[in-house]
């Protein structure tokens, strides 16, 4: 997916925060530690630094939600991050985004902290970010799904 395609998907999917723009995606993808995993109607963008992976953005087209697309790209992201040396994956999610929090919890992520007022809400005001972490299994990577890796 191109930065423009990622931005368009992000704009359709993000309801609890302002979506990333094309320039945001282009800048992040230009970084050598970036890791992008895409699939049909979904993507995960993050980075791997030393033994940690960070998810910066994950989006699934609303028309394809609840069909396993997000889980497939997340599983592939975790496998590729582990192949780059990551032992854990962390992320931030808006506290008000109950569907995303539930998704990450179902995928094995646990809340480990909070950043007060971290996100600007589209309708105004601020929302706390919950920090979530998942340790990757030792000795083997999680099974990879079929999404294509772009980066």
Please indicate whether residue 22 is annotated as part of the active site. no
Q: Kindly provide the b/e burial profile for residues 92-104, where b requires at least 16 CB atoms within 10 angstroms of the residue's own CB.
A: bbbbebeebbebb
CA-to-CA distance for 87 and 54, rounded, in angstroms?
A: 11
> Cβ neighbours of residue 126 under 8 Å, at least 6 residues apart?
117, 118, 119, 120
Please indicate whether residue 119 is annotated as part of the active site. no
Two structure tokens written together for 114:
């909070």
Q: Which of 22, 52, 92, 95 is catalytic?
A: 92
What string of DSSP letters covers 127-144? EEEEEEEEEPPTTSPPPP
Please report, for residues 55, 71, 79, 118, the alpha-carbon distance to residue 60 in angstroms, rounded to integers and kept in the order given. 14, 10, 19, 22
Active site positions, annotated? 92, 104
């Amino acid at each position: 997916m191109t930065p423009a395609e990622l931005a368009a998907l992000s704009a359709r999917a993000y309801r609890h925060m302002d979506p990333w723009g094309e320039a945001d995606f282009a800048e992040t993808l230009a970084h050598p530690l970036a890791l992008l995993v895409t699939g049909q109607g979904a993507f995960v963008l993050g980075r791997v630094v030393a033994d940690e992976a960070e998810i910066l953005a994950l989006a699934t087209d609303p028309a394809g939600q609840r069909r396993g697309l997000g889980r497939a790209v997340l599983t592939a992201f975790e496998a590729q991050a582990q192949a780059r040396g990551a032992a854990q994956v962390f992320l931030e999610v808006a506290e008000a985004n109950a569907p995303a929090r539930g998704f990450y919890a179902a995928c094995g992520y646990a809340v480990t902290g909070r950043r007060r007022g971290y996100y600007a809400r589209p309708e105004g005001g601020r929302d706390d970010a919950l920090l979530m972490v998942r340790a990757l299994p030792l000795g083997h990577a999680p099974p990879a799904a079929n999404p294509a890796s772009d980066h």
